[in-house]
Amino acid sequence: MRIHTGDFYEKLKRTIVVIITDFEVKGLEELEYCTKWKIIEEKQRKIILTDLMEIVIIELPKIYRKRDNNDRLLQWTYFLDNPKSEEVKKIMEENEVIKKANEKLEEISDDEIMQRIAEWKEDGLRLEKGRQVRFERELKEGIEKAKKEGEKQEKIQIAKKMKMQGMDIEIIIKITDLSKEEIEKL
C-alpha cells in the first residue's frame, strides 16, 4: 500500500524484508544465523518506531553451526542453501511440506518446457541489459555530439559578427578556432 501526503500513517501495511546472504555480515558475527531488526530511537529510550517494518537477515554460512533439526526456519534455510544435501534428505523424512517443495522443484527442473522458458527469460534479461547499456552509451554519445555541434554553431555566430565588424581573419581564427576556409564561407 502506498500512502500519499495527508494520508494517515495507520494506512501502512506490515512489511517484512528478508535478506539472504551467502556471506557473514560484518558486525553480526556473534549473532545467530537469523536476526530480526526494527527501527528504534538509538540515543535515549531505545523506543521502537514502528512494528509495521521489519528486516530479517539470514546468513547461510552460519546455518551449519546450528544443529536443531526441529527449527522449521532452519530446515527451510537448509533447503534454500542446497536442496540436494544429505541434511535436507533427512529433513524431508519428517517435514512433508519441504518434501513437497523439493518434489515441485524437481518437477520444474525436469520439465523441458520450463527449462526452456527459464533460459528464454535469462536470454531476454541479458538482451534487455545489453539494450540498456547500448542505449545509455548512444545517448551519452549523442549528447556529446550535440554539445560539440552547439559549441561549433556558437563559434560560427561569433565569427560572423566579428567578420561583419571587419575584424582581421587571423584574429577571428585565434578567437574561434575555426579554419580560414570556414570563416571565408561565412
pLDDT tens profile 97-131? 988 888 888 877 767 777 777 788 888 888 888 88
pTM beyond 0.75: no
Return all residues near 60 (Cβ < 8 A) that are at least 6 apart: 20, 21, 22, 33, 77, 80, 81
In this prediction, residue 1 carries a pLDDT of 62
- The whole-angstrom separation of Cα 138 and Cα 115 is 34
Here the cell at position 14 is 506490515
Return all residues near 21 (Cβ < 8 A) that are at least 6 apart: 57, 58, 59, 60
State pLDDT tens for residues 133-151. 888 899 999 999 999 999 9
Return all residues near 69 (Cβ < 8 A) that are at least 6 apart: 75, 90, 91, 94
Structural domain range at position 166: 118-185
Residue with the three cell numbers 518437477: 107
Which helix (H) or strand (E) segment is 181 a member of? helix 180-185
User: Number of folded domains in the chain?
Assistant: 2
